[in-house]
Amino acid sequence: GTLASSVIGFSSAGNVGTIGLENYYNDELNGVNGREYGYLNSDNNFERTVIDAEDGNTIVCSIDANLQSIVESKIVEFNEAYRDNYYFGPGSKNTAVIAMNPNNGEILAMANYPSFDLNNPRDLSGVMTQEEIEGLSDEETMDALNALWQNFCITYTYEPGSVQKPYTVACGLETGTVTTDMTFFCDGHETFDGNVWVNCHKVEGH
């Protein structure tokens, strides 16, 4: 179904991996087709040659199906809860979560919202109405599918922002640079190189 769909990926015609692991490891996963051919020798006897097929390789990834399932369900819950929320608007355009084993770097879960069904990857009904789908040109349909299929966790370059704050605070506490009774003033933005302006989520400061 949809479990880890953008991570796993799917195959298109000719057993060609289109996205995800199916695409990246296409050569390893695909085997070699077998074939059989024959000919008549000089004595008019039929000679047959058979070349056996070779299976492709199996790959094992570190994704934990239970964790993946939990993360995906929580992402859906979040988006449904905030779909019509006044403050957050219509949910999120993209939601992405990566869970990693900090001891060895293994990726235990990698999930996106919206997701799609690997058994029917060209179905856009989960993200568009039927009327919207019918109004798409062929090019717009492919753009919509590519947007749905991409693994947001690894295809977008976006500053990690607030997820770095715990690391910064932890380093400061560990080295004694900051203490628990210190406070800091945020003026709502920071400038870099004199002309790059980056806003805090609370632009008026706090």
Rounded Cα distance between 197 and 202, Å, is: 14
Q: What confidence category does residue 92 fall into, taking pLDDT thresholds of 50, 70 and 90?
A: confident
End-to-end CA distance of the chain: 45
Q: What confidence category does residue 91 fall into, taking pLDDT thresholds of 50, 70 and 90?
A: low
Residue 171 predicted with pLDDT over 70: yes
108-124: average pLDDT: 92
Residue 54, both tokens: 């070779």
Per cent of the chain over pLDDT 90 is: 48
Q: Could you report the per-residue pLDDT of 16-62, keeping only the tens digit for each? A: 898 999 999 999 999 888 888 888 887 878 888 889 999 999 999 99
pLDDT score for 42: 78
pLDDT score for 25: 95
What is the length of the chain?
Answer: 206
- Residues 6 or more apart whose CB falls under 8 angstroms from that of 107 comprise 61, 62, 63, 98, 99, 100
Q: Could you report the per-residue pLDDT of 134-153, keeping only the tens digit for each? A: 999 999 999 999 989 989 99
Token match 């060609």: residue? 16
77-87: average pLDDT: 72
Question: DSSP assignment, residue 53?
Answer: -
SS3 assignment, position 82: coil
Rounded Cα distance between 93 and 21, Å, is: 24
Alpha carbon 49 to its chain's center: 45
pLDDT score for 160: 66
pLDDT score for 14: 79
Mean pLDDT taken over the chain: 88
Start-end of H helices in the chain: 5-8, 20-24, 26-29, 65-81, 130-134, 138-149, 152-155, 165-175
